[in-house]
Structures are given as C-alpha cells and as structure tokens.
Amino acid sequence: MRLKQSLLGLAATMLASAMFVIPLGAQDKSGFDDSQKNEIRAIIKDYLLKEPEVLREALMALNRKQEEAAETERKKALSSLYKEETPYSVGDGNITVVEFFDYNCGYCRKAFEQVSELAQQEKDLRVVFVEFPILSEGSRVASQAAIASTKQNKYWEFHQALMKHNGPVQPDTVFKVAADVGLDVEKLKADMKAPEVDELIEKNLQLGTAMGVQGTPAFFIGDQAIPGAPSELKTMLQKEVANIRQNGCSVC
C-alpha cells in the first residue's frame, strides 16, 4: 500500500510538471527497474482515466506557461525595436510607434495618412516601418527596393510615394515610382541584390510571426498592439503617446 501511495504521489508530481509526456526511456537514470516502470505506467493511465480533469488542468497550466514565455519574448522583441537605430523610420522623437506593413495592403494605405499626420504633429514621436511583404511578389520587390533605397538616403520619400500609389504595386510600378522620386534606378536594382536585403525581410517575417502579427497593418506602441486600420487609429495612437509621456513605457 505504501509503495502504491508513493507511486501515486510520483504520478501526481509527474502530471503537475508535464513529465508524463516524456518517453520513459529518457528516465532510465531514475533508479526504477522495469517492473516498477510498468506499474507507474499503469497507475498513471488509471489515474488519468479516473481523473481526466487533472490532465486538463496540467495542459492549461502548460499553455499558460507557454503564453507567458511568448509574451516575454514579444516584449523583448518590442524593446529591441523601440531602441534600435534604423533608417526605416520618420521622426526622431523618443516615443516610438512600430508598424508592420505591406505596400499592397489597402488597409495600410488607409492608415498611412493618419500615421503621417501623427508623425508631423507629435514632435517627440518616431514611426518605425517594418517591411513585411506577405501579399504578393510585387510586395516583396517593393520591400527590397525600399530597403535598398536607404543607400541613396531616400527611404521616406520612396515609402510615401509607394503608399500613395493608386493601384497594385507590381515590379514595374516599383521602378517607375523610384525614378519619379529621383532614385538612380540602376543603382537601386544593384543594391537590391545585396544579401542583407533579403536577410532583413526574412528577419522581419520571423519577427512578425513571433510577435503574433497575423495581417497588415499591425501597430505597436508601448506594450499595446493595434491590429488593422481602425477609423480612430490616430486618436488611439495619440492616447498611447500621451500615456507614455505621463507614465513612461515599461518595454521601451
């Protein structure tokens, strides 16, 4: 009876720590012989069949732990974005808004006017644009060109022109717009081939996934996320800017 109680205690401990999902072969150093391991298996199986809510509670606890870990990583990534010096931005204030966007995203274009107005009005604000081309090949070419445009110090002018373009952004559109804003198109095409261009795009895509970005646009300010382009976006961002001015930023 004492052995059985001990084994039940062991089973409960294993359940609480989610160890029951680890293959028993990984526990060979535990000191149990084959007979004892078989009895543990039987006890755990019987316990779970009789008390299935224990498994549910253990899984819920595991999910909470994973969510907390993901939130920690998200805040760490945000903190890095807020502090990073980057040419893919407008404004030089000490309060940062981060936007994940795609040049072919209609909602990004809808939000662009509000974001531009906000950047002009709030002198202590900086807007960081994260190239996040997920909608088409034209989007990726546009992002490659935008990243390469920093070599000619024309990112903001080029970004504005692409966001204001009426219609789909195709590869030929990208180079026409580039010429219109005064970029050397041949140099631009050469700079687009640099490995760091695609490396940055892949980094951004992975970052967006890690931060839970499921579509564009997605805005981050302080510890707040604003998905999409709500009609009151500018007001929402202004509210968060005022809050950070007054209370500071826990992740900046």
63-117 per-position pLDDT tens digit: 787 677 777 777 777 888 888 889 999 998 999 999 999 999 999 999 999 999 9
The answer to whether residue 3 scores a pLDDT higher than 60 is: no
Tell me if 227 is assigned to some domain: yes
Mean pLDDT confidence for 38-65:
81
Mean pLDDT confidence for 180-197:
97
* β-pair type (89-90, 95-101): unpaired
Report pLDDT for 18: 42
Q: Are residues 29 and 129 in the same domain?
A: no
Residue 125: beta bridge partners?
95
Report pLDDT for 220: 95
pLDDT band, very low/low/confident/very high, at 182 (cuts 50, 70, 90): very high
Q: Are residues 201 and 130 in the same domain?
A: yes
- Domain extent at residue 28: 2-50
pLDDT band, very low/low/confident/very high, at 46 (cuts 50, 70, 90): confident
Report pLDDT for 236: 96
Q: Are residues 82 and 185 in the same domain?
A: yes
How many independent structural domains does the chain possess? 2
DSSP line for 127-164: EEEEE---S-HHHHHHHHHHHHGGGGT-HHHHHHHHHH
H helix runs in the chain, sequence order: 2-16, 34-50, 52-83, 106-121, 137-148, 155-164, 171-180, 185-192, 195-210, 233-247
Most confidently modeled of 4-8, 11-15, 89-93, 179-183? 179-183
Tell me if 63 is assigned to some domain: no
Quick: pLDDT tens for 112-159: 999 999 999 998 999 999 999 999 999 999 999 999 999 999 999 999
Tell me if 22 is assigned to some domain: yes
Report pLDDT for 30: 59
Average pLDDT of the chain to the nearest whole number: 86
Q: Are residues 83 and 45 in the same domain?
A: no
Tell me if 252 is assigned to some domain: no
The answer to whether residue 228 scores a pLDDT higher than 60 is: yes
pTM of this structure:
0.74
Report pLDDT for 71: 72
The answer to whether residue 27 scores a pLDDT higher than 60 is: no
